Amino acid sequence: MPVALITGASRGIGAAAAAGFAKAGYDLLLLSRPGPDGLPSPELEAVANALRTQGRRVETAGIDLADAGSTEAAMAELLQRGLLPNVVINNAGAAYTGPLAAMDLARWQWLLQLNLTAIFQVCQAVIPGMRQAGAGLIINVSSHAAHNTFPDWGAYGASKAALVSFSRCLAAEERAHGIRVCTLTLGAVNTPLWDSETVNSSFDRRAMLDPGQVTEALLVLAQQPSNQVIEDLTLMPAVGAL
């Protein structure tokens, strides 16, 4: 039975991906920010319980990926539950809008932790098992902001550009171990990210991509034969950049 690990799985793209991969026959390792009690949030458990009724095995974990000091141990505990992920979808992330010259250092470090360093940590956690299995696919969700310039989105764009470079280097390093690494580059997607207190935008959300469309792209990447890889798949709204 194939297994997918999905970060940021309580809502938006992550929740849609969990449903799509469960329908495709995957068991799941789902993680998102913990609730106030440190346990998986009620939102994540609701996603998981709905998929369990479909006969899928679903393990959940409340992991604060913004806390670099706790991520390694939390990931190790999750991976000790008996499910080895064949596919890892690094979907969790954050955004910030504002001029670089006025950005608070702590906010910069928070954004880089979530959009880059946490992905580095998740990859370090799953790679030993994938190496032992001689196969695996890591999909890092990126943005067209990695390749284009948008005023007030500089920090976000820098974090995603770094993620692209990280993904390419990791792919080159792990190819000999049978591990494939790719990126899914997205235009604007209608998710709760736009409701975040760190994001100020007036985009027409009706013109954005839907999380279900993103899930279909993720499945395309995941269902490639093991002897080939789509190194990057770019998915944009038909209207272009918003």
Query: What backbone torsions phi and psi does residue 186 show, to the nearest 5 degrees?
Result: -115, 145
Show the domains of the chain with their CATH numbers.
Answer: 3-235 (3.40.50.720)
Q: What is the dihedral of CA 187, 167, 127, 7, to 10 degrees?
A: -20
What is the residue-level pLDDT of the chain in tens, covering all 242 positions? Answer: 899 999 999 999 999 999 999 999 999 999 999 999 989 999 999 999 999 999 999 999 999 999 999 999 999 999 999 999 999 999 999 989 899 999 999 999 999 999 999 999 999 999 999 999 999 999 999 999 999 999 899 999 999 999 999 999 999 999 999 999 999 999 988 877 757 777 677 677 788 999 999 999 999 999 999 999 999 999 999 987 76
**How would you class 121 by CB atoms within 10 Å of its CB: exposed for 0-12, middle for 13-18, buried for 19 or more?**
middle
What's 144's DSSP letter?
A: G
Per the rule left: phi > 0, alpha: psi between -120 and 50, beta: everything else, 205 is: alpha
- Catalytic annotation, pick one of 127, 156, 166, 180: 156
pTM here?
0.95
The answer to whether residue 156 is catalytic is: yes
User: What sign has the CA pseudo-torsion 220, 163, 170, 59?
Assistant: negative
Q: Residue 85: which residues within 8 A CB-CB, separation 6 or more?
A: 3, 4, 5, 29, 79, 126, 129, 130, 136
Q: What is the CA radius of gyration of the chain?
A: 17
Summarize pLDDT for 44-96 with one digit per residue, the tens.
999 999 999 999 999 999 999 999 999 999 999 999 999 999 999 999 999 89
The residue whose two tokens read 């706790």 is 70
